[in-house]
Chains A and B, each alone.
Chain A
Amino acid sequence: MTAQEYQQMVHSRTPHSPLAKDCLMAFLFGGGISCFGQVLRVLYERTGLAEADAKLAVSVTLIALTAVLTATGAFAKIARVAGAGTAVPITGFANSVVSPAVEFNAEGRVLGTAAKMFSLAGPVIVYGCGAAALYGLILFLTGAA
């Protein structure tokens, strides 16, 4: 049997992810988190925070909640159902920082927790900052900024 023939066999025999269910769950959980964020923003604004500060406070709250849920192991259980619904909002980014920080605590606070903390989030920061810089450069060159 050639590698090509086998890979065709594997393709036809390997079960695929339930796309419709995954999309529905991502929509419901992602939408739910976004709605919760909106509710928080309204509440923060009612306490007298300016719009920009209220937005920041929403992000901080969601990050803090994710950190607690990650540390207790609840986040991974929710994410198993929610998929992209918890990964795409800021909750996903917070989880990707907290989970290696908790996991590698056994290897010490410096070379474990601190060094591994950005092992998953590092690429997001690197390419996120890179893309922002590129976008800024384009705006600068085109005179839009």
Chain B
Amino acid sequence: MAERIGNSTVRLLSRPSVLAAASAVGKMEHEGPLASSFEIFCNDEFWGETTFEKAEVAMQKAALAAAIDGAGVTADAVEAVFAGDLLNQCTATSFAMRDLGLPLAGLYGACSTFALSLGLAALAVESGGFHCTMGSASSHFCTAERQYRQPLEYGGQRSQAAQRTATAAGAAVIGCSAQYRPHVDCFAIGRVRDLGIKDASNMGAAMAPAAAQTIEYFLRDTGTKPGDYGMILTGDLGSTGSELLLEVLRTEAGLDLSAVHADCGCLLFDAARQDVHSGGSGAGCSAAVVCSHILKRLQNGELPNVLFVGTGALLSPTTTLQGETVPGIAHAVLLTAG
């Protein structure tokens, strides 16, 4: 049975494990620094389909199928999938599950979705009512652009603080087995925080205060300090949001995260070489980075533990047009190797 510690955090005493995970990415993501970590990639932005929306479904299905395969279980053994994406009504996820026939709990947490799905999947296993669950999230540059911004062929310049939505999906199978690692040891559901950012192209700035709050609460609840973690990984603040996170934490809580902080949006792309401005974003960005690069580093002993803090900007095109500010959210999941 899970134990509540402090105001915001839950410790999972049965220590659910990641049995297997897989990620699928697009061409530009595969040209980035983490290329060798990803299990599946496709140079065709349509993934052999006729629309970008179908492409995202195909990509998410590929990641889910590879993760199920990697765990050595059958699809029938998966008792619940906690998953989401960025599209209206989360259709990439529900259409993927329509084809795969998996039991779905659909989630929307913008770019924080994967942290939320991973935490809830582990919590379900911890409850004892589920033996095998999955967490998954996806995003596609082309589906996100046409929904949130301008048509792809529109000729305009992007803000320097803007991030590029990753074409990526990640899926992880969670179960209770001591021989598999990493373990999901703690989970904290974040609170929505809004410090009045109105610029929808500067989402890193909108999300950084929520990330700072979640990290501060988590460290306080668990009685730990930044140095106790091999990595505190946000996803995805980009370079602008990361700088702001460090400064907010210094100012508000007197915490210095600079030695252990990394951001999925900064890891996925090489900003000096690839035209991504502040870095990557999108629900699939942190999903793919965690399911491939980070899990491998935890499994091979390079990292003892990772505090993964998924961050989301909870805006919609309608709220932006109506002049609303951009609320942020951040959920924390502690992954431990040993």
Spell out A's residues near B (CB within 8 Å). 1-4, 6-7, 9-10, 13-17, 22, 70-71, 73, 75-76, 78-80, 82-83, 86-87, 92, 95-96, 98-100, 102-104, 106, 120
Contact = CB atoms under 8 A, between A and B. Distances in A.
A100 B205 contact: no
A1 B251 contact: yes
* Residue from B150, B154, B195, B197 having most chain A Cβ neighbours under 10 A: B154
* Residue from B151, B196, B209, B247 having most chain A Cβ neighbours under 10 A: B151
B252 A95 contact: no
A-B residue pairs, 6 tightest by C-beta:
A79-B155, A103-B151, A3-B196, A99-B153, A15-B160, A6-B195
B205 A14 contact: yes
Contact of B150 (A1, A6, A9, A120): A120
A22 B157 contact: yes
Contacts of B251: 1, 9
B174 interface: no
B247 A95 contact: no
A110 B193 CA distance: 41
B152 interface: yes
A6 B151 CA distance: 32
Interface in B248-274: 248, 251-252
Contacts of B240: 13-15
B157 A103 contact: no
A4 B325 CA distance: 13
Contact of B197 (A10, A70, A99): A10
A2 B194 CA distance: 10
B224 interface: no
Given A1-B195, A6-B209, A80-B275, A13 B244 contact: yes
A9 B194 CA distance: 15
B129 interface: no
13 contacts: A1-B195, A1-B248, A6-B248, A7-B196, A10-B202, A10-B244, A13-B244, A14-B240, A79-B155, A79-B157, A99-B153, A99-B155, A120-B151
